[in-house]
Structure 1
C-alpha cells in the first residue's frame, strides 16, 4: 500500500532548514526559504522591523554575523489550513558560547505554499519577559506544557 506524505509535513522541513541555516549563518540558504515577494516581513527579537527581501537579507546577515545563535524549539503549536501554516513556537536562542545564557523567545512563523514548496512569508519574534521565561522554564521542568 502506498504511503502519502502529508502536505503540511513539508512546512516543518522548511522550518528545520531555517533553523539549520541560522545555526550555520548561511544567508543564501536562509533567504532561499522566503517567498519571492516584496511584502515579506520579519520582526526580530531585538524589536527591529525588516521589510522586503533585501532588507531582511542585510538585517539578518548583520545580526547573525555579530551574534551567531542556534535556535532550539521548546514548544511548538501548529495551525494549518489549505495553503498556509502558522507556527507559534517558544524557542531558546543559544549563543555560540556554551557558557552564555540563552535568550527565551516567542516566535511566530507564517508559511505559504507556493509552486509546490513551503516558503516563509513572515516571522515575528519577541523576547519573553523574564517572568514569563521563568514560568515557562518551570512548566517545562514539571512537564506541564507551555504558557503560549
Structure 2
C-alpha cells in the first residue's frame, strides 16, 4: 500500500463527519471541520454566497433551523494531490419531513491538509436542473452511476 493511501482516506473521514453533523443539525460539529482561515467559502445550492467562517456559520445555522436535511451521496468522484482533495458529488438532499421530496444537488468539496487534519476550505453546491436529475436517476436505476 502506498504511503499516501491513508492520508487521502482521512479526507473521506472528514466528508463523512460533515454529512453526519449536517444530519444531526450540529452546527458546532460542522464548523469544526472547516479550515481555520477567513478565506473559506460556501456557495449554497440556493445561490447564496457565504464568505468567511462567521458568514458560513450564520448561513448554515439558518438553513439547518429552517429546513433540516440529510445528505445522501449518490456518486463520488475524487481528485487528489498532495495536500488537496477535491470531491465532485451528486447528492440527494432529503428534508427531515418524511413526505418531502429530495432535492438533487451537484456539490464540490475542496479539502486541504492543515496541521495534520483534513479541513474543508470550500463547498460549491448547485441544484440539479430537473432534466439532469432525471438522467442521474435513470442511470442509477440501470447501475451505471449518475456521472457515466
- Aligned to 1:6, what secondary structure does the other structure show? helix
Measured against aligned partners, the alpha-carbon deviations of 1:88-118 in whole angstroms (never above 9, x if no partner) come to 0000000001221000000000000000000
In structure 2, the partner of 1:29 is 29
In structure 2, the partner of 1:146 is 146
Structure 1: unaligned runs, 5 residues or longer: none
Measured against aligned partners, the alpha-carbon deviations of 1:103-147 in whole angstroms (never above 9, x if no partner) come to 000000000000000000000000000000001000000012223
Distance (Å, rounded) in 1 between the aligned partners of 2:116 and 2:7: 9
**CA RMSD, aligned part only?**
1.4
In structure 2, the partner of 1:13 is 13
2:123 is the counterpart of 1:109: no
Distance (Å, rounded) in 1 between the aligned partners of 2:4 and 2:132: 40
2:86 is the counterpart of 1:86: yes
Aligned length: 146
- Aligned to 2:135, what secondary structure does the other structure show? helix
Structure 2: unaligned runs, 5 residues or longer: none
Which stretch shows the higher mean deviation, 74-83 or 138-147? 138-147
| C-alpha deviation, 1:4, in angstroms | 8.8
- Aligned to 1:121, what secondary structure does the other structure show? strand
| C-alpha deviation, 1:34, in angstroms | 0.3
2:57 is the counterpart of 1:57: yes
Q: Which runs of 4+ in 1 moved over 2 A?
A: none
- Aligned to 1:29, what secondary structure does the other structure show? helix
Distance (Å, rounded) in 2 between the aligned partners of 1:28 and 1:51: 17
**8 Å contact 2:136–2:146 — kept in the other structure?**
yes
- Aligned to 1:146, what secondary structure does the other structure show? coil
